[in-house]
Amino acid sequence: MDNSDQEVQGHQHQQQQQPTNVKVKNQVEVQIGLVGDAQVGKTSLMVKYVQNVFDEEYTQTLGVNFLKRKVSIRSTDIIFSIMDLGGQREFINMLPIASLGSSALVFLFDLTRPETLTSIKEWYRQAHGLNEGAIPVLVGTKYDLFVDLDPVYQEQLSRASMEYAQVMDAPLIFCSTAKSINVQKIFKVALAKIFSLTLTVPEINEIGDPLLIYSAFGNKRSRGAAR
Amino acid sequence: MKFASLSNGSFKRLRETPPVDLRPRKKSSPTPSDSESDNESNVNNKWRNSLDQVFKRRNTSNNLGRKRRWKNKGPFVRTAQNPPSPVNVTPGPTSVKNGPRWEDARIDSVIQLATISPFNEEKVTRHMADLTLVTPSSPTPPIALPPTVKPHPIFQMPEIVENILRFVSAYAEIPREKPYARRKPLSLEHAKLIYKDEKKAMEVWNNRSQIGAHNSNGDGNEMMGSVMYNCMMVNRLWFHVTLELLLEKFHFKDLTKFRRFLNVKNQMNTNKKLIKPKMMVLHKFHKLQQSELDELSRFLSCESLKWLEFYICPDVVPPVAWINQFNNLEKLVLPGNKKIDDKFLIQVSGHVNNLKVLDLRACDKVTDSGIIAMAIRCPQLQACNLGRHRNSSNITSLAVVALARNTDVETLGMAGCKITDAGLWELAQLRGSRIKRLSLNNCDLLTNHSIPTLLALNYFPNLAVLELRHVDQITEVKQLVKFKLWKRSQNIPVLIEGCERITRLMYDEENRIRKSHSLLAFEDMSTWVNTESEL
C-alpha cells in the first residue's frame, strides 16, 4: 500500500522535473579578424554588428577588442567571435591574436581616404602570411560619406578596390555602419565563403552603388573549415 | 620558509636511510615522556613540562649527565642498538662546522640519531645537545653553531607544530586502490575505438597491466608517508605530535609490520591508553587471521572511526567488540571478503546509521537480505558497490529497489548481478535524477527496454559514468549516443564504458548522428546567408 503510493508520487515528481527531450543544438563557431588602418571603422563595424549601436565618437582601440555574436537559426547556432585589432602600427605585434585561428579576415579601408586602401597591401601581406587558410574579405567603409564625393573620385576608387579584390581573391563589399548598409552582408558572405555555401543574394556591380561582389572571389583556396 | 626547507632536506636524506627498519618500533613505542613526567597527571601540560625539564637539566648538567640521560631514553636508545647501517658515512659534525645553516645542522643530527652506533655515540650525544628548542640561558653557546641560528619560535609551540604536521599528514599516502580515469581496454581494437588514435591506443594497450595495478614506484605520495616518520625524529615535541597524527590514520599494507606492531603493543602492558583512530586501513592482508584482529581490538577502539577498510583481507571480519562502536562510521570498505555474510551485515546495520559509502565488491556470501537490512538502516548511504563475478544470483533487483527506496544512493555498482529491467525502471523512477554513477557490467538480464529507453526518456539526467560492458542483450545504442552528445553540448562530459561490441556500435552511431547534424547545420546556414535582412 504505502509503497505503491510512494511509487506513483515518485513517478509524477520525476515526470515534472524532466526535460523530456534530449535535444542537441548544432553549434558552429567562427572566428573573424578585422584589420586595417586606424580610424577606418573596425570597432564601429563590430559594435554595430554585435550590438546594433553606432557611435559618432572615435575611440582608439588599444590592442585587440573581442566580441561574440550568436545567430540562431532553427537547430543551429552560429557564433561569430570577432577580433578587432587596433589600427595603429604599434599594435602590429598583436596581429597574430586577430589573425591566427580566424576563418575569415576582413580587411577594412576608408572609402574617403584612398591611402587606407593602399595600406591594405601591407595588411594583407602580414595577416595573410600568418594565416593562409583564412578567407580574405575586402571592405570599404563610410559609404554614406563616399556617395557625396566627386563621381570621378568614386569611379577611380571603386575600380582600384576591385583590382585589389581581384589580386587578393577576396569578395568586395562597400558598407556604411552609420546608415546600416551591407553590414550584415559582410558576415553572411564571410560565412558562405568559409563553408562554400551557395549564395543567391544579388550582387551589386554598378559604380556608385554600395558594391557587393562575391561570386568570382574567394572560391578556390584550399582551407580547413572551422568546425 | 624554514619548515619547507627542513622537510625537504630530511626528505632527501630519507632515501639513504633504511626507514623501514625503524618504522614499527617508532610507531609502537610508548610516549617517551612517560618515564620522565610520571608525576605529571595533566596530559595537556605534559609536553611543555617535559620540555622544561629537559632544558633545565641541560642547563645545569655537563656532558656526562646528558649522555646518561639519552642512554636511558626510550625509542632513541633502541635505535642506538641497531646495527650500523651504510648511512654511517653521512657527513659528521665536521661538515657542520663549515658555516652551516640551522636546518642543515638539524637534519644532520637527525641522520646521526638514526644511525647511532657505540662508536660515534659520544659525537651524537654532543650534537644532540645543540638541538635547541628554547634558547638556553647558558652563557656558552652550543658547539660549532653560531649563536644566531636558532629555531623559529613557531616550531616550539605544540599547537603550531600540530598544524604544520597535519598538513604533512594530509599528504601522506594511505594504501588504497589507485583511482583510474578509464577502465582498461579489452583488446587493441577496443583501445583504438576508445582513443580514436592509433598511437595512444597502442600505448594504453601495451601498458594495460600497469593501469590500476599497484604502481608504487615513482609515487611522490609514498615518500610523503615516510616524511611523517622523519618528523618523529626531529625532537621530542615533534615526536609526540607526529605520533598522535600517525595513530589517527591507522593504516598498514605490510602484514609483517602489522604483526610486529601487535607484538610490541602486547608487550607494553603498562600503556592502557586506547588508540582511537579516525581511519583504519588494512591493505591486501591475504593471510591475516581473525585472532590477530581480535588481539588488535583490545587496544584499539572504533568510537572515532569514520573510515574502515579491509581491502582484500579475505578471512577476517571486524571484531564484534567494534561493531557497537560504529556510530561515526561513514565509509565501510570490505571488498574481496569471504567471511562477510548477511548475518554480519544485519548485525552491523543497527550501528551504522551515518554510513555513506559501502563497498562489498566480491563479497560472495552477501545476498539481497543483507543489503536490504543495510539499506533500511543507512538513510545517508550515497555509494554502494556490490559488483561480483561469483554467486551473481545472490544480488537481484530486490537489493537495488531497497537501496533506491531507503537511501540517498548516487553511485551504484551492480556489476555481475542479476538485476532486471523492472528493477532498473524502479530505480529510475525513485531516484533517477540523483544517480550519478551506474555500473551494470555483465548484468546479463538487462535489455533494450531498460537503459536505452530510460536514457531516451531522460530518467537519469545527471548520470556521469555508465558502465555497460558485456551486456549482450543491449543492441540499441542510439539513445546512449544522443544522451552523450546532449550532455557534451552542455559541457558536462559523460563517460559510457562499453565492451568492444557496444563501443563500436556507439562509435558508428555517433558518426551517423554527426553527419546528419552537419547536413542540418549546412542547410540552416545556407538559409541564413541568403535571407535579406539588415540586422
Q: What is the DSSP string of A61-96?
A: --SEEEEEEEEEETTEEEEEEEEEE--SGGGGGGHH
pLDDT over 80 at B32, yes or no: no
Cβ burial B406-428 (10 Å sphere, 16+ → b, else e): bbebbbbbbbbbbbbbebbbbbb
pLDDT of residue B67: 43
Environment class of A173 (CB within 10 Å of its CB; exposed 0-12, middle 13-18, buried 19+): buried
Say what the ipTM of the complex is: 0.81
Long-range contacts of B496-499 (CB under 8 A, 24+ apart): B496/B466, B496/B468, B497/B182, B497/B183, B497/B441, B497/B465, B497/B466, B497/B467, B497/B468, B497/B469, B498/B468, B498/B469, B499/B186, B499/B190, B499/B468, B499/B469, B499/B470
What is the mean predicted confidence (pLDDT) over B249-260? 90
Same domain, B103 and B138: yes
What is the mean predicted confidence (pLDDT) over B322-337? 93
DSSP string computed for B15-64: TTS-HHHHHHHHHHSPPTHHHH-TT---STTHHHHHHHHHHHHHHH--HH
Residues of chain A contacting B520 with CB distance shorter than 8 Å: 26, 74-76
**Residue A53 Cα, gap to closest chain B Cα (Å):** 11
> Radius of gyration over alpha carbons of chain B, in Å?
30
% of chain B at pLDDT higher than 90: 41
Total tally of structural domains belonging to chain B = 3
Same domain, B457 and B372: no
Determine what percent of chain A falls in helix, strand and coil, rounding each to the nearest 5: 40, 25, 35
Asked if the Cβ–Cβ distance from B489 to A27 is below 8 Å, we say yes
**Cross-sheet strand order for the sheet of B383-385:** B249-252, B279-283, B307-311, B331-333, B357-359, B383-385, B411-413, B437-439, B465-468, B495-498
pLDDT over 90 at B227, yes or no: no
Residues 6+ apart with CB under 8 A from B272: none
pLDDT of residue B92: 41
Cα separation of B273 and B295, whole Å?
15
pLDDT of residue A31: 94
Most B-contacting residue of A76, A78, A180, A204 (CB-CB within 10 A), to test interface: A76
Residues 6+ apart with CB under 8 A from B27: B243, B246, B247, B261
Q: Domain range holding B46?
A: 2-171
Total tally of structural domains belonging to chain A = 1
**Residue A33 Cα, gap to closest chain B Cα (Å):** 19
Residue B82 — very low, low, confident or very high, per pLDDT cuts 50/70/90? very low
CATH number for the domain spanning A111: value is 3.40.50.300
Q: Report yes or no on B217 lying in a domain.
A: no
B229 versus B444: which is more confidently predicted?
A: B444
Q: Which residues share a beta bridge with B279?
A: B249, B307
pLDDT over 80 at B208, yes or no: no
C-alpha cell, B345: 551485515
Q: Report yes or no on B109 lying in a domain.
A: yes
Cα separation of B252 and B515, whole Å?
54
Most A-contacting residue of B529, B530, B532, B533 (CB-CB within 10 A), to test interface: B529
What is the mean predicted confidence (pLDDT) over B178-203? 83
Same domain, B404 and B441: no
Same domain, B156 and B290: no
Q: Report yes or no on A200 lying in a domain.
A: yes
Interface of A with B in 105-144 (CB under 8 A): none
CB-based contact B102:B132 (threshold 8 Å)? no
CATH number for the domain spanning B296: value is 3.80.10.10
Same domain, B131 and B93: yes
Q: Report yes or no on B476 lying in a domain.
A: yes
pLDDT of residue B30: 43
Q: Report yes or no on B222 lying in a domain.
A: no
Q: Which residues share a beta bridge with A141?
A: A110
B240 versus B269: which is more confidently predicted?
A: B240
Q: Are strands B465-468 and B495-498 parallel, antiparallel or unpaired?
A: parallel
% of chain B at pLDDT higher than 70: 68
Torsion from C-alpha of B516, B517, B519, B524, nearest 10 degrees: 140
pLDDT over 70 at B129, yes or no: no
| Cα-Cα end-to-end distance for chain A | 55
Cα separation of B450 and A196, whole Å?
44
Same domain, B155 and B77: yes
B395, B419, B443: which is the final residue of a domain?
B419
> Measuring CA to CA, which residue among B124, B179, B175 is closest to residue B280?
B175
Q: From residue B228, give the alpha-carbon distance in Å to each of A95, B5, B248, B304, B324.
A: 53, 15, 13, 22, 32
Asked if the Cβ–Cβ distance from B520 to A14 is below 8 Å, we say no
Lowest mean pLDDT: which of A81-95, B43-57, B135-149? B43-57
pLDDT digits (tens, 9 = 90+) for B452-506: 999 999 999 999 999 999 999 999 999 999 999 889 888 898 999 999 999 999 9
Q: Report yes or no on B336 lying in a domain.
A: yes
- DSSP letter at B179 equals P
Same domain, B342 and B449: no
C-alpha cell, B360: 562489498
pLDDT digits (tens, 9 = 90+) for B267-321: 876 566 788 999 999 998 999 999 999 988 888 889 999 999 999 999 999 998 8
pLDDT of residue B153: 84
Residues of chain B contacting A75 with CB distance shorter than 8 Å: 520-521, 524
pLDDT of residue B438: 95
B486 versus B21: which is more confidently predicted?
A: B486
Query: Where would I find the beta strands (DSSP E) of B153-225?
Result: none
pLDDT over 60 at B33, yes or no: no
Residues of chain A contacting B432 with CB distance shorter than 8 Å: 14
pLDDT of residue B137: 56
Same domain, B373 and B448: no
Q: What is the pLDDT along chain A (227 residues), one digit of tens a residue?
A: 334 333 333 343 444 444 456 677 888 899 999 999 999 999 999 999 998 888 888 888 888 888 999 998 888 899 999 999 998 888 888 899 889 989 999 999 999 999 999 999 999 999 999 998 899 999 999 999 999 999 999 999 999 999 999 999 999 999 999 998 999 999 999 999 999 998 888 899 888 889 999 988 887 654 444 43
Residue B131 — very low, low, confident or very high, per pLDDT cuts 50/70/90? low
Side-chain half-sphere exposure of B392, counting CA atoms within 13 A: 15
Which residue of B405, B525, B532 is in closest CB contact with A28?
A: B525
Q: From residue B203, give the alpha-carbon distance in Å to each of B195, B199, B499.
A: 10, 6, 19
**Residue A215 Cα, gap to closest chain B Cα (Å):** 13
Backbone dihedral region of B186: left (phi > 0), alpha (psi from -120 to 50 degrees) or beta? alpha
pLDDT over 80 at B14, yes or no: no
pLDDT digits (tens, 9 = 90+) for B517-532: 899 999 999 998 888 7
Residue B28 — very low, low, confident or very high, per pLDDT cuts 50/70/90? very low
Q: Report yes or no on B301 lying in a domain.
A: yes
Q: Report yes or no on A162 lying in a domain.
A: yes
Q: Report yes or no on A49 lying in a domain.
A: yes
**Residue A217 Cα, gap to closest chain B Cα (Å):** 17
Cα separation of A225 and B207, whole Å?
36
pLDDT digits (tens, 9 = 90+) for A61-103: 888 888 999 998 888 899 999 999 998 888 888 899 889 989 9
Q: Report yes or no on B366 lying in a domain.
A: yes
Interface of B with A (CB under 8 A): 405, 426, 428-430, 432-433, 455-459, 461, 479, 482-483, 485-486, 489, 517-518, 520-522, 524-530, 532-535
> Measuring CA to CA, which residue among B435, B426, B384 is closest to residue B405?
B426
Q: Report yes or no on B159 lying in a domain.
A: yes
Q: Domain range holding A159?
A: 25-213
Q: Report yes or no on A218 lying in a domain.
A: no
Q: Report yes or no on A10 lying in a domain.
A: no
B275 versus B138: which is more confidently predicted?
A: B275
Side-chain half-sphere exposure of B218, counting CA atoms within 13 A: 2
**Residue A119 Cα, gap to closest chain B Cα (Å):** 29
pLDDT over 60 at B86, yes or no: no
> Measuring CA to CA, which residue among B76, B151, B176 is closest to residue B121?
B76
Same domain, B282 and B409: yes
Residues 6+ apart with CB under 8 A from B164: B3
